[in-house]
Amino acid sequence: MSMFSTGVLVLTSPLHTLPLRLAPVLKSAAKLVEHTLYVHLHPGLNLGTGCPPRPVFIPPSVDLPGLISRLYSNAADICSHLDVRLLLANIHAQQDVTLDPFPSPQTLSRSPEVVMTDFPIKDSGQTSLVARCLQVYAGSCYVCAPSISSVILWPQLKEAMEEQEENVKENDSTPLDTYGDVVVGGTFDRLHGAHRTLLNICCLMANRRFLIGVCDQELLKNKVLKELIEPYSRRVQKLREFLNDVKPSLQYDIVPLSDPFGPSVSDAELQCIVVSEETRRGGEAVNRKRAENGLPELVLYEIPLIKDAHHADTEEEKISSSSLRTRLLGTLLAPPTPHPALARLPYMIGLTGGSGSGKSSIARRLEALGAARIDADQLGHETYRPGTAAYHRIVQEFGTDIVNEDKTIDRRALGMKVFGNKERLKALTSIVWPEIALLVKERVQQAKEDGKQVCVLDAAVLLQAGWTDIVHEVWVAIIPEEEAVRRIVQRDGVSQEDALRRLQSQWSNVQLVERANVVLCTLWEPDVTQRQVMKAWTLLQVRIEQRQEDAGFQP
């Protein structure tokens, strides 16, 4: 069967049986959907009567938060590539059974192209009837693609579900306590299963307003790989899209957090704050602040952390954004800018990074894997040699007092003339950088003649010099500032103040990452760096091969 970009899964099993059924259902659905999977709950829905089924309100019970957590935990294990979203428009303690949760079909951010269900079919002759009823039901709830397909998953689920029936627990239909206004805070970088669990449970518990504080500025400073955190506006955009899909009836207030508390300690209408095992102390601190401000305490509702079955030895055991950012290292973060004038091979990698970033060690690792390494700093020294075109222009521009007795340029004396003087520094770089670029092209030609498929240009000033037009991709090595200072002090024997001044005179990690196709980090043990480099190299080979196939090019 063909794959669909977006699907909606209608779960009809009783709520108390779903925890054990979720895994096989998700596994089956993931074979049909490749991007977004919406999940709609309607326990007890009968699709086999031939009558058009109608959606009804489902009262929230104390079992539901656990089911939500189980859903996203299973999804992280089984189909982590899918954007799973549990929809809650029909989950509400509504007394009037005549009311329809969907007076008009809800418009989702992506229109479902297929609707699936776990509805059990007793007789294979029912299949077409159930499929038609399922299409009608989905269309009454959500705006779907005009030619939506319907799939009955039961044949694939029957055996797995029957094996689990004996382990089914009793249903607890105790009503869940809900609140008018609910608050939560977080970074919400690259929404993952733990975020979705938290947000879904908040939406479940809120009847009127959901206030979300999103960390920004000062609160991001100590985050792991903070340079890879998505911009605030992007995180808010993804939050709004997710929340509007999940429960469009709520009022969503999303505000930036520049301190740990935000409006949670001053908003008198708030009633409940949702926390995890890790953030419970933060919730208790919020209540102490509210008490100081003469406001009633918030109900603290705690949800469990979700274990990450795929975590590496350097990552947290729980699902976390920092782990996801770590996994981005070595991958293609942004597509390369096309440079039609560049030869396809050797494929040019421009590798840059600040002082102490480990850039050159990465270049040597790539060289060991088969790349030709070109050291821009070494080429820079060559441009200063007596007799070169750059040498004569430098002496003419800066005077003969920078020339030693042996006719070499006194780099220290030259440095004194340009230090702190932007115009004089620009005069120097306008002479040296173009000459280095010419030498780079010579080395690339030599690498081509040697049969090299990849060249790595190790250049601290790659971006400042405008050399991006001579490379196919920009790779950036980053390191936290405090670690960079420690390395510079240890390596060069300078003071911490001098090391910091050196770093502050260079482009920041954020500026470098903004222009990067691939990012690497040497913060951890050497074998961790090696795994990053190996991943980057392997993915690069795939891109080069695909590029050759697309162009019909044979090496």
Domains (range + CATH), the chain: 4-159 (3.40.50), 179-303 (3.40.50.620), 329-371+452-554 (3.40.50.300), 377-446 (3.40.50.300)
CA distances (Å), origin 97, targets 246, 408, 503: 22, 92, 66
Q: What is the pLDDT of residue 301?
A: 96
Radius of gyration of the chain (CA): 30
Check residue 375 and give left, alpha or beta (phi > 0: left; psi -120 to 50: alpha): beta
Q: pLDDT at position 555, please?
A: 47
Distances 186 to 260, 266, 321 between C-alpha atoms, Å: 9, 18, 11
Q: Name the token pair of 401.
A: 């007092």
Spans of the chain, pLDDT less than 70: 1-2, 94-97, 156, 158-172, 310-316, 553-555
Give the bridge partners for 476, in sequence order.
Answer: 352, 519
CA angle, 526 as apex, 523 and 530 as ends, to 5°?
105
* Distance (Å, whole) CA 218 – CA 13: 46
Output the pLDDT for position 211. Answer: 98
Q: Sheet holding 33-41: strands in order across?
A: 83-87, 33-41, 4-11, 114-117, 149-152
In Å, what is the CA distance from 381 to each residue of 204, 384, 399?
A: 65, 5, 19
Matching residue, tokens 């500025």:
217
Which residue, chain included where needed, has tokens 């260079």? 506
* Whole-model pTM over 0.85: yes
Centroid of chain to Cα 27: 23
Please provide the distance, in angstroms rounded to a whole number, between the alpha carbons at the two ends of the chain.
37
CA distances from 472 to 106, 247, 281 (A): 45, 44, 48
120 CB neighbour count, 10 Å cutoff: 18
CA 130 to chain centroid, in Å, comes to 39
Six token digits for residue 552? 């019909």
Backbone angles phi, psi at 298, to 5 degrees: -90, 145
Contact predicate 29/173, CB 8 Å = no
Nearest-angstrom CA–CA distance, 117 and 120: 9
